[in-house]
Structure 1
């Protein structure tokens, strides 16, 4: 499997179209398609941009997934979903997360 193949698989994992990934990476649509087709090699700036969008650059370059940093599958899914959101959705989820983190459930004691 070549870099272009892994670039396509990672784009699909993130749920983006080629048009969206071209925009995210700051390249022309045709240029991005050429990367996936293996006609040309992406520049470093593409990898920086798609990493910010949630792509696993280590996987694209080497075929090996980045090591999770001791997080559960549920936590990994939350991260993946968060990275796939637009800015407005991220702000909403941050507010909800802050609200839940600050609330402390009242536990019933044996004397209640």
Structure 2
């Protein structure tokens, strides 16, 4: 549970809020907010929904994985690349997926071999 608590604190600090102010947003007392952050208590769904409405990345809080940026925030070149990819026939899209997957796997194995102490 401490992972969630740590991430709640990180999100609160990212938004520049005190425990009291953040707890008010979530609908809990400051002592409950402190217990969430220390991992002594688990937040309920209504708390998470309330803080999400104020900009908290709840996916990150729960899983440690950031919510992907929405498509609307792509740069012009990213939009062009995505549009070009989408206009390809399925076989070409599949080939690009295989290529990028292979490159990602190669990079991951190369990084591990080059830095065996990185784990």
* TM-score, L = length of structure 2: 0.58
Give the match for residue 13 of structure 1: 14
Give the match for residue 23 of structure 2: 22
Query: Which portions of structure 1, spanning 4 or more consecutive aligned residues, are displaced by more than 6 angstroms?
Result: none
Query: 1:63 aligned to 2:57?
Result: no
Residues of 2 paired with 1:60 and 1:38: CA distance? 12
Residues of 2 paired with 1:41 and 1:25: CA distance? 13
Residues of 1 paired with 2:17 and 2:74: CA distance? 24
**CA drift at 1:72:** 4.6
**CA drift at 1:47:** 0.4
**CA drift at 1:61:** 0.3
Residues of 2 paired with 1:22 and 1:44: CA distance? 14
Residues of 1 paired with 2:74 and 2:29: CA distance? 37
Residues of 1 paired with 2:25 and 2:60: CA distance? 18
Give the match for residue 51 of structure 1: 52
User: Structure 2 unaligned runs (5+)?
Assistant: 76-119
* TM-score, L = length of structure 1: 0.62
RMSD, aligned CA:
1.4
Say which structure is richer in helix: 2
Deviation per CA, 1:32-51: give whole Å up to 9, x if none.
Answer: 10000000101111100000
The structure with the larger Rg is 2
Paired residues in the alignment total: 73
User: Structure 1 unaligned runs (5+)?
Assistant: 74-112
